[in-house]
Structure formats: structure tokens, C-alpha cells
Chain A
Amino acid sequence: MRRALGIALWVLAVAAGIAFFLVLPRFVSDFHSRELAQAGVFFIAIVGLNLLTGYTGQISLGHGALMAIGGYTTAILVTHEHWRDVWTIPVAGLTAGAVGFLVGIPALRLSGLYLAVATFGLAVAMPSILKKFSGLTGGSEGLVFVEKAPKQITGLGGSVTIFGHSMTQNHFLYYLTWTIGLIGLTIAWLIVRGRIGRVFRAVRDSEIAAVSSGVNLAKIKTLSFALSGVYAGIAGSLLAIQTQIVNPLSFTFLLSILILVGAVVGGLGSLVGLVVGAFFVQYLPDVSTHISERPGVPDFVYGAAIIIVMILLPSGVGGFLRRLARPLTTWLYTRP
């Protein structure tokens, strides 16, 4: 009986979540849907990083670089090959996944902080790499879709029609991003609760114990990096589609750090809290500049806010929710 109730509660929560996602644009201004879509980009990247860092225990400070791979794949296909922007998303994901796989190879020899530093190197180098191949990437100017390939932008005219249903471009971007985000979340959830997820966690908790239980460490680590790269690539691609530009300055190491901040605030090793992590990263700059525009103050507020959140929620929003729901879950999952 309690088990059935537990499942029913789950279904209800998921249904409520989906309903909230569907109607949210009605309650905010049209432009605000675009900001929500941008939060969705962070969300997708954070879910991917969480698979790697939260579940497999591999710290990456290079996810901004993987987003750059995704974003530039989209931009190059749109501006040079004249693909329609949305069709580039899978290619961008796979390309970044392949790069993520390659990044995972040094991870076989490095662990902990050393891996973090190595991936950070990638994040720092990425803007220069992008400027180096200026024929392809547009150099320091980057690529501006409206200038180079306006016909490939979905909804440039202001509205998009899908299955006879017309919506504004901002709404389209919101639904596109968050649909992909929720599918990504579901896939991540399926991975985490299944066999692979258990192996991921085994590697995180003790590599030696995992190997002695027969886990192929090389396979699992590179798989985790590749999977996480796919998420980052899709996020980067969506960012490019939303802003209709790519530029090396958009993919500095700060982006990598922002994604990690989002994952930590959302709660490593949890999935639901990540939505909050994404919103935190998206809206904190607005809030901090709103408090004061004096030079240095927004940066200070920003840093202070992160410290306060970490003191109050040491295990992130995910951990907080888990603690909050503990009486309920204990009641649901204990035999009467």
C-alpha cells in the first residue's frame, strides 16, 4: 500500500513538473522565455557535469571548452554548410562527446585535483585555439548567424510554426531547450539508477574497490567523460542557436567554473536540485548588479552569495531537498 502511494506521489510530482514547464511561459513576458531558455542551457550542461563529477567523481573544470566545441560545431555547420540551426544539435552533441572521450584519456592517469587542473588547462586554452583557426571560426570576431546565414535561423521572422501551432521565437527557444533538457534529465536518471550508474558510483567511492570487483576503469571513465561531453555539446549548441552568435570570449574558463558552481549549488550526486543550480547561475549576476553598480560591488555580492549558499546548503539544493523529504521517504519506504 505504502509502495503504491510512493509511486503515485512520484508520478504526481513528475506530472506537476511537466505541467509547470508547459505553462510557465504564459506567466512571464515573451522576452523572459528567452532568459529561461538560457537557464535551460546551463541546466543541460550541469546535468552532464553532474554525471561526471557527482556520480563518477571526476572533477572537470573544462566543460566550458566542451560547450565551445558544441557551439562552434553548430555555428560552422550553419554559416559554412548552411544547415538549419536546429538540425545541428545532434552533431554538436556527438562532436563534443568525442572530444570529451579524448579528454577522458588523461583522466585514466590523473585523479582528483590533478585531473581538475588538466581539464582547466583545456578551458584556458580554448579561446586561443578558436582564434587560431580563424578561417573556420571567424577569429576574434566570431561568427554572427544573421550576417552570414540568416535563412538558417529558425524563427528569424519572429514566429515559429510547429504542427500547425504557432508561437513566438522566444517561446520556441524555451520549449526547444527545456524539452531537450527534460529528456536529458530523464536519460541521466535512467543511467544513474541502472547498472552503469552503480558502476559510476563505485568508481567515485573507491577506484581500487571498483577495479577489484571487476570494473573496467578505463572504459567507465572515458564513457562518463564522453556522455558528459554530449550534454555539454548540446548545451553549447543551444546557446549558439539562442544568441545566434559564437565568439571566443563567450567560452572562457569562467564558463567552466560557472557550470561547476551550478552543479555544486544544485547538489552533486542529485538530479532534481540541478534546476535550482541552473537558475542560480543564470540570475545571480542580474541580482548582484541590481544591488549596486559600483565597480567591484557586483563581483563581491556574487562571491559572497556563493559562500553563503555553500555554508547554508553544504550538500547543495539536492541534499537540502533530500533532508526535507526524509520523514516522508522514511515513512514511505519502511514496512509498517
Chain B
Amino acid sequence: MKGISYVLAALACALTLATAASGAGTATPGVTPTEVLIGGTIPLTGVASAYSTVGLGAAAYFRYVNVHGGVNHRKIKYLIKDDAYDPSQTATDTRELVEQDHVFAIFNSLGTEQNLATRPYLNALKVPQLFAASGATTWGRDYKQWPWTIGYQPNYRAEGTIYGRYIAKKTPKARVGVLYQNDDYGKDLLAGLVRGLGKKGGLLVSKQSYDVTDPDVQSQIAKLKAAKVNTLMVFATPQFAIQSFVYAHKLGWKPKSYVNAVSSASNIMGIATQGAGKKQTEGSISIVFLKDPNDPRWAKDKGIKLYRSIMKRYKGVHPGNVYNVYGMSVAHTFVEALKKAGKNPTRASLMKAVTHLNVKNDPFLLPGVIVHTTPTDRFPLDQARLERYHNGRWYSFGGLFRVR
């Protein structure tokens, strides 16, 4: 690892020279008196295209900001490249954004492996890799090695910690069982749960893992039932989360379920309810940090009203999709950072702004949720509320949890 810094420095120098020689001329790529050019990869096609609104929601918000004067009279131009969720394609697309389009920063690229694939490259060139759309812990944790990278959403470890603390406090006699995906995502959630349980670690009586390639989780659910678990942690992607409800129902087993945020979207819970019956999903618990546009509680909320008007006027798609709200929130944060980066922003000043955020007025986040960073705290969102599933809808309850 030691020799790398030298080589990376050489790479950075050479490419900087190449960029300068190619006639960009200005000090900062992507910034002109009238425009700030940023870009990122989003799966518009392929297996993960359901996430495309993360990018499209952000694009709609930028259109809204541009119509209202932009930031320091500069319009924000956001180039979305389709990587079809293929990390090799992410690598090529990101190079294109940096070397051909000369973007100011990479913004909101989606996926854990996808962002890992470009992180060394972007850090070598000192191009900000902003608000990676992934819940992996590494974005906020490993900033010393990768100072130009930062994530956005509450990370999986923090989410697990929230569940652990709640269980330790409210149900000290629970018998907790975990179904988790056997990779970084599942293990991060599990590690967080153990941390949250703290001294009550003994409550955890059974851990069952599955691989993404397993056809189903029937045997894992049976083992959890056999271990007399009464509190089931579902740290699984939507398909397996739905299965766990259905198989538990078939076994006549009704544990209290905790569903991780990856799988707790209303439509997924709806499918699970259809397959397993109302009683099986009733009372499930998850976390939430965005305002859900389907939640009647926000029908008259200023933020959701703004959201709806932006979706209508700036060609947003699928207004019921909560990922749009996510996209707008992350775009809102970028705008705030850009405002703080000075009249003539540079990549360094932008990064400085991004690591000194304290945004209290994000209209798309739950009331009270603050986007906060410092140079040593690189987790922009680390607050969430718990929510309970009742009669086919999520209801948030309790106060805000804050964890790293």
C-alpha cells in the first residue's frame, strides 16, 4: 500500500497536466461564470433500474433551482450516465465524466460496488465523490484514506444500532433472531444490532445467514422459529424479506418483525401483506428519515407540497416513489454545499463546504433531521425515527435517534 501514494501522485500530476493541456484553461473544471457542471452514474436500465428515480428526482430539483436563479448566478447542470448497475461501466462512465465532460464533481452515483470501483481513481485525481448513494459504512469511516469521498444516507451499521438500542430498552426479555444477507450489507446491519444491544447482547439467540444466490430462506426461518425467537430482524433485500414473512406465516409463527429500510418501502410491505396476511406484517418496525409522499400526514406539509409542485412542473416521474424524495434531498444538500463553497468554488472549497455542513431546513427530510458534517464526522445523515406498520401504512413514533 505504501508505494501507491507515489504512483497515485504521478497519475494525478499527469492527468492534471493532460487536462490543462487540453485547453480547459480555467482553474476549476466544470465551473464557468454561468454554469456548474456535475455528473454521476445511475442505473437507468437493467436489473436495478428501479433506483433510477434517485437520479431523476435530483435532476428535477436542480431544474427548479435553476429556474429560480441557480446558485451565485450559476445554473447547475447534472449529467446522468447509465451504468446499468455494472461497476465496469461505472468506471468507464466516471472517467468520461471527468476526462471528457470535465465535471466539477461526481455526485449521487448509485451503488456500493459501483462507488468502490471509482473511489481510488477519483481520490487520485482529487475529484470530489459526493454523496455516494449507498448505505455502506466505509464512505464515512475511511475518510483518512479517501478524503475526497463522502456518503449521504444513514449507514447500515447505524440502522442496526437503532434497532438494538430500542430492543434493549423496550423489550428486555425479547429472544432476538436475525436473518441477514451474507455480505457487507447484512454484516454491517448485524454488527450495528450487536452494538445497539450493548450489555443486553444475550438477547440475541440465533443468527441465520443466506447468500444472494440462495433460492429462498425457508430453512433459515424454520431454524429461527425452532430457536424460540420472538423478535425477528429481517436484514434482507426485498425479495427475501417478503419470503420471510410468507414462510413464517406458513409455519404459523408470528414474531415481532423488524424490517431494514432497504425493504420497508410501502409497496414491498404491501406484497408481503398480500402473501402472508395482515396479521403477519402488522406491528413491524423499521426506520425512516425522509418524508414519504404517500403518507397522508404530510399531505399539507410544505416540503411535500414543494416536492409535488416540482414533480409536476419539472417533468418528474412516478410522484409516489419515495426515491424521488431522496434524490431531491441529496440535491438540496448539494445546493447548500455549493452556496457555502464561495463565489468562485474550487474542488477543494467544495470539499471543505461538504465537510462543514449544518443544514437544518431540508424540506424533504423528517422534521428535526439535520444534515451535519465536520472534517472528522463524515456521516451527513445520522438521524432517523422508528416507524410502525399499522393497517397497511407506516406511522413514525418516538423521537429522533442519532447514531454513527
How far is the CB of B78 from the nearest CB of chain A, in Å? Answer: 11
Counting CB contacts under 8 A, is B53 at the interface?
A: yes
How far is the CB of A304 from the nearest CB of chain B, in Å? Answer: 13
B7 touches which of A150, A168, A246 (Cβ 8 Å): A150
| Beta-carbon contact of B4 and A147 below 8 Å | yes
Counting CB contacts under 8 A, is A330 at the interface?
A: no
**How far, in angstroms, from A298 to B117 measured CA to CA in the complex?**
24
One of B94-102, B200-208, B240-248, B263-271 at the interface: B94-102
Counting CB contacts under 8 A, is A204 at the interface?
A: no
| Beta-carbon contact of A128 and B117 below 8 Å | no
Mark each residue of chain A from 93 to 135: 1 if its CB lies under 8 Å from any CB of chain B, else 0. 0000000000000000000000000000000010110010000
Q: Count the B residues whose beta carbon is within 8 Å of the partner chain — how many?
A: 50
| Beta-carbon contact of A140 and B49 below 8 Å | no
Counting CB contacts under 8 A, is A179 at the interface?
A: no
**How far, in angstroms, from A93 to B255 measured CA to CA in the complex?**
53
| Beta-carbon contact of B91 and A243 below 8 Å | yes
Counting CB contacts under 8 A, is B257 at the interface?
A: no
| Beta-carbon contact of A146 and B44 below 8 Å | no
Counting CB contacts under 8 A, is A141 at the interface?
A: yes
Considering only residues 149-163 of chain A, those with a C-beta below 8 Å from chain B are 150-151, 156-159
One of A30-38, A260-268, A315-323 at the interface: A30-38
Mark each residue of chain A from 151 to 182: 1 if its CB lies under 8 Å from any CB of chain B, else 0. 10000111100000000100000000000000
| Beta-carbon contact of A247 and B124 below 8 Å | no
Counting CB contacts under 8 A, is A205 at the interface?
A: no
Interface centre among A139, A150, A156, A249 (most CB of B within 10 A): A249
**How far, in angstroms, from A139 to B44 measured CA to CA in the complex?**
25
| Beta-carbon contact of B45 and A142 below 8 Å | no
One of B80-88, B218-226, B346-354, B373-381 at the interface: B80-88
How far is the CB of B338 from the nearest CB of chain A, in Å? Answer: 23
Known contacts A150-B4, A150-B8, A293-B52; A31 and B213 CB within 8 A of each other: no
Counting CB contacts under 8 A, is A214 at the interface?
A: no
How far is the CB of A156 from the nearest CB of chain B, in Å? Answer: 5
| Beta-carbon contact of B82 and A249 below 8 Å | no
The residues of A that contact B99 with a CB separation of less than 8 Å are 30-31
* Main SS class of interface, A: helix
| Beta-carbon contact of B96 and A128 below 8 Å | no
How far is the CB of A236 from the nearest CB of chain B, in Å? Answer: 10
| Beta-carbon contact of B11 and A140 below 8 Å | no
Known contacts A157-B10, A293-B56; A243 and B88 CB within 8 A of each other: yes
| Beta-carbon contact of A239 and B121 below 8 Å | no
How far is the CB of A233 from the nearest CB of chain B, in Å? Answer: 16
Considering only residues 54-92 of chain B, those with a C-beta below 8 Å from chain A are 55-56, 59, 80, 82, 84-89, 91-92
Known: A131-B212, A293-B82. 7 other contacts (CB 8 A): A146-B8, A150-B7, A243-B88, A285-B45, A293-B52, A294-B56, A295-B44
A-B contacts, 24 listed (Cβ < 8 Å): A35-B92, A125-B213, A128-B212, A131-B213, A139-B183, A147-B120, A157-B10, A158-B14, A168-B18, A243-B88, A249-B87, A249-B113, A250-B88, A285-B45, A285-B82, A288-B45, A289-B44, A293-B82, A295-B44, A295-B50, A295-B56, A295-B317, A298-B49, A299-B46
Q: For the complex of A and B, list the 6 residue pairs with the smallest distance between their C-beta atoms, beginning with the closest.
A: A158-B14, A31-B100, A247-B87, A250-B88, A128-B213, A150-B7
A interface list, Cβ under 8 A from B: 29-32, 34-35, 38, 125, 127-128, 131, 139-142, 144, 146-147, 150-151, 156-159, 168, 239, 242-247, 249-250, 252, 254, 285-286, 288-289, 293-296, 298-299, 302
